[in-house]
Chain A
Amino acid sequence: MDTMQALKVNQITKSFRTDFYKKPVQVLKKISFDIQAGRFVGFIGPNGAGKTTTIKCLLEYIYADSGTIQFFQDNSILESKKRIGFLPERPYFQEFLTGTEFLKLHWSLSGIQNENFKTRSEEVLDQVKLTHAKDKKLRDYSKGMLQRIGIAQALLARPAFLILDEPMSGLDPDGRILIKDILKSLKLQKMTLLMSSHLLEDVDELCDDLIIVHKGEALYAGTLPKFKENFSNLESAYRDFKGQLETDYNV
């Protein structure tokens, strides 16, 4: 197994001011975790726990108040973004574009020069099983197809690190199965994945490691088998973990 560090998050904090005259609310409280290359990591926690905020900090959509983030050994996020693929939760894609045109847009933004677009786009379209719909307008795509073309754009530049925010959210069972199959094939290719999700069953099936965030703190960051050591599945382990948490927090 490759043990190179793909991401190191060290004590990041983030506060937001909801109103000019109000006190800032601390959303992230010294979150720290590491991700090793080639691992699939599930990022779970209740709504408002800070999952999306952490992802936004990782990609510098927002800036952490303190702490450090480093992808691989890169010095800048711009450098790292050449190796990162990202799909946010339910984004809007330009519906007047066809699948191929959409990928062409992202290809041009990725600045790839040493590869042929046609070959690569056909490869990723095949990978996400959308070859038949490549010339269809995105407005004619189903929700599952849009999610898959989203994954295709994230995979286009051959990233070493993939970040998916709720990739299964709102999908029907068939759509979920297809996305899971795609992710499983990526696992075989030794890709590193950080996947935020509410679906414990999917995380259990796909991930090697687990990060649990709660109220802006990373309460668990380690391997998934260790977390569910004495339980039959992730859900039971999570139930137990949450029970203990509620006792600790005196909820």
Chain B
Amino acid sequence: MMRLILVHTQEWLRLKFFHVILFLSFFYFMMSYVLGSLSFVEHQRLIFDFGLAGLEISALFVSAFISTHALYRDIDRKTILVLLARPIPRWHLLASYLGSLVLLNLIMVTVLGIVLFTFLEKNPYGGTLFISIVTILIKSIVVSSFGILCSVLARAMFGFVITVAYWMMAYSIPDLQFFAKKIDNVVLTFFARFLDYVIPNFYAFNWKNYHFMRSEINWNDILWSWAHCFGWIFCLLFLASLFFRKKEIV
């Protein structure tokens, strides 16, 4: 399977979409650097906040787009027929997509992370910045797993939209719960609680900001959040494999 992962990664590294996202991220970083230089006291804050937000959005788009289109592309080009003619269980293919997305995001996050570190001269928060970047990478794997599940069940573009919505919802659950509590609506409260069960809570470890950089690292929170994400990755991939077992490749 490792070879298949490497071949997918090689293929996706050549995608124009990936190059465009990478270019836009660089552009965004440059903008944050210029804005940071114009500011006298908030130089680091701007670079951290803009830079990490840019990093997460780039990882989101790459993960959501590629994960929802990978299967569709392989079916459309009949590559999947050649691959599945081999004595491998179908879930191997989905696992290889996820493995390649991990590798692809790792490459992107490493490149952009190095740029971010370069922009931050005399950065005293290297450790927290590193944790923040790793968390972004793990979140992108959750998004990728959801995208793969969508690709098994829906058309590529629809899956992409749903995956982006999923990421947005994962950040909005506490707000939704707060709002439901304030207006005291039973249906909305139930809905918010339901979403809390079926969507991971990214808001709980939203560490891509300057405030987090300056606070002390609480390893319990970090490890819990990573475990939470890995739990979701496993569940989503398991569900995708279950549906993919009986999917008809027409």
Contact = CB atoms under 8 A, between A and B. Distances in A.
A29 B131 CA distance: 60
A81 B250 contact: no
B86 interface: yes
A135 to B, nearest CB: 17
Interface residues of A, number: 33
A105 interface: yes
Contacts of B84: 59, 61
Interface in A75-90: 78-79, 81-82, 84-90
A153 interface: yes
A79 B82 contact: no
B85 A86 contact: yes
B248 A62 contact: yes
A94 B13 CA distance: 13
Interface string B76-92: 01110111111111000
Nearest to B10: A96
A109 B250 contact: no
B79 A91 contact: yes
B182 interface: no
Q: Which DSSP category, helix, strand, loop or mixed, fits chain A's interface?
A: mixed
Q: Which DSSP category, helix, strand, loop or mixed, fits chain B's interface?
A: loop
Nearest to A77: B87
B79 A93 contact: yes
A91 B78 contact: yes
Contact of A106 (B10, B11, B86): B86
A111 interface: yes
Contact of B11 (A82, A91, A96, A111): A96
A82 B77 contact: no
Contacts of B249: 56, 61-62
Contacts of A108: 1-4
Contacts of B16: none
B81 A94 contact: no
B4 A61 contact: no
A130 to B, nearest CB: 17
26 contacts: A16-B250, A56-B249, A56-B250, A59-B81, A59-B84, A61-B84, A61-B248, A62-B248, A62-B250, A63-B246, A84-B85, A86-B82, A87-B82, A88-B81, A90-B78, A91-B78, A92-B77, A94-B11, A97-B7, A104-B3, A108-B2, A108-B3, A110-B86, A111-B87, A111-B88, A150-B82
Interface of A: 16, 56, 59, 61-63, 78-79, 81-82, 84-94, 96-97, 104-106, 108-111, 150, 153-154
Top 4 nearest A-B pairs (CB, nearest first) are A92-B77, A86-B85, A109-B86, A91-B78
